[in-house]
Amino acid sequence: MQYNVIGLMSGSSLDGLDIAYVQFEETAGTWAFEIRESACIPYPALWREKLSSIAGLSAKDYLLLHTAYGHYLGTCVNEFVEEKNLSFRVQLIASHGHTAFHLPEQQMTAQLGDGAAIVALTGIRTITDLRSVDVALGGQGAPIVPIGDKLLFPGYDLFLNIGGIANLSANQDAFIGFDVCPANRILDLLAAGTPKGFDEDGNLASTGKTDENLLGQLNTFPYYQLPYPKSLSNEFGLHEIYPLIEKANLSMPDALRTYVQHIADQVSKALVLLKREMGGKDGLHLLITGGGAHNRFLVEQLRAAVRPAGILCEIPSKNLVDYKEALVIALMGVLRWREEINVMHSVTGASKDSMNGAVWSV
């Protein structure tokens, strides 16, 4: 069975809207895919401001923004379809939306982007709200990409996505996964004063010095001692991590270098734990994707940190690095359309596997 799907992903780093047009082929339970077209649409300043200021909105204003963002997504899809000559070729849109609130301990998660608005503008069946059933079942609702790791990348043992938040998953007897630490969202905030607004290739970080006092404070946050399943909200990075770094009053290169080391410390610590739980064998293959995979200095530090553990790091093609999350969202939409499980309780801690997603049609 073949499916032609558009996946939409907006991450916590606020770098833009990722769109991937994917062709899936399923044969006797084995999945193949090809990302046929893709684009990252940078957010205009106004949308960046709106998406970073959600917490203070009234209920009415939040719902108005939810609707407006849905229309924005629908407009972006229509422009993408026209530019890529995809008219009448797309069977389904799967939209992650933009996470507004994530409070799994209170069994609530909310993603902006009204599916009714998307389907009204595009005329294409749309699936949204891909976390809520899992959260209602007591799960963390995150990470949700491991279903894609399991079905699309069976040749790897471990998976690291470095986006606004870094998360890991592992191909054990039962798939597991969890959020590790804030990543690009903090690095981009620290580099906000640069011409590009981010530390390209980690060049600035590579010239800095690690502040051991700050690093020690960062590494002792209670979250890092919690067992999985666990997940992070954007607020953890913005309200706890970033103010601590600001308080240290370091130069930009030193702050960036220290935070890169923090990411490397937490990821390597988590990987060593996972390796131990997987029997301790050497030669485990780690697939690294997400925007952070382009940060040369960060990847160098990660490679150095996990080398003693015998973990082999691999970075795939640029297209897969940049659009893996949109690819997996597209797959989750297909699974929902097929009325199949698309979130695994072994990853999230929910009481059972679940089929997530609201279906919108016209």
> Whole-number mean pLDDT of the chain?
95
**Cα 81 from Cα 63, distance rounded (Å):** 27
Q: Say which CATH architecture domain 2-145+322-360 belongs to.
A: 2-Layer Sandwich (3.30)
- The whole-angstrom distance between residue 277's C-alpha and the CA centroid of its chain comes to 24
Q: Identify the pLDDT of residue 159.
A: 97
Residue spans in the chain of domains classed CATH 3.30.420.40? 2-145+322-360, 153-320
Contact 126, 79 (CB under 8 A): no
pLDDT tens for 178-219 read: 999 999 999 999 999 899 889 999 999 999 999 999 999 999
CB neighbours of residue 239 within 10 Å: 11
Domain over 153-320 is classified CATH 3.30.420.40: yes
In a 3-state reduction of DSSP, which class is residue 195? coil
- The answer on pLDDT for 56 being more than 80 is yes
Rounded to 5°, angle at Cα 10 from 170 and 154? 25
Say whether pTM exceeds 0.85. Answer: yes
Q: Residue 42: how many CB atoms within 10 A of its CB? A: 11
- Map residue 280 onto helix, strand or coil: coil
Checking 269-272 for CB contacts under 8 A at 24+ apart, the result is 269/224, 270/168, 270/178, 270/180, 271/158, 271/160, 271/168, 271/306, 271/309, 271/311, 272/306, 272/309
- Taking residues 311-339, report their average pLDDT: 97
**Cβ contact 168:230 at 8 Å:** no
What pLDDT digit, counting tens, does each position of 143-154 carry? 999 999 999 999
Taking residues 247-264, what's their average pLDDT? 98
Cα–Cα distance measured from residue 129 to residue 265, given in angstroms and rounded to the nearest whole number: 33
